Amino acid sequence: MARAKYLLGALCVTGLCFGTEARPAPPAPSGTVMGDVAARMQPGTWAELSTAGFGGPLLTCIGGHSILEWTGKATWDPRSQQFLYIGGGHYDEQKFITYSAATNSWTLQPRTPWDTGILEMLGHAYERNAIDPVDGNHFYLDAGARFSHKYDIARRSWSRTPAHDFGVVGAAAQEYFPERGGLVLLTARNVYFFSEQTGQWSQPGNDLALPADHCFASYNPLHQAVLLGGGSVLYKFDSSGRLTRLGNPPVTLGITFTVVTPDPVSGKYLVFSGNGQDRASEVLRFFEYDLAGDTWTQLWTAGQANAPMLFRVGFNPVFYTAAAPATTFGVSMFITYNWNDSKVLLYKHSAGGGPPPPPPPPGPQITEPPEGTTFVAGQTVTVRGTGSNLSWSVNRTPDGLPPFAQGTGSNLTFTVPADSTDSQFIDATLSGDGGSVSRRYVIVAAGAPPGGTPNPSGSGDGSCGALGMEGILPLALIARRRRRSAG
d(CA 140, CA 85): 9
What is the pLDDT at residue 158? Answer: 94
pLDDT < 50: residue spans in the chain: 1-29, 278, 449-487
Of residues 266, 258, 333, 366, the one with CA closest to residue 76: 333
What is the pLDDT at residue 121? Answer: 58
As to burial, measured by CB atoms within 10 angstroms (0-12 exposed, 13-18 middle, 19+ buried), residue 421 is middle
What is the pLDDT at residue 448? Answer: 53
- Give residue-wise pLDDT tens across range 217-267: 999 999 999 999 999 999 999 999 999 999 999 999 999 999 999 999 999
d(CA 139, CA 340): 29
Of residues 85, 173, 160, 91, the one with CA closest to residue 124: 91
What is the pLDDT at residue 400? Answer: 81
What is the pLDDT at residue 361? Answer: 57
Quote the pTM value.
Answer: 0.73
What is the pLDDT at residue 119? Answer: 56
Q: In angstroms, how far is the first alpha carbon of the chain from the final one?
A: 37
d(CA 42, CA 351): 7
What is the pLDDT at residue 118? Answer: 61
d(CA 260, CA 258): 6
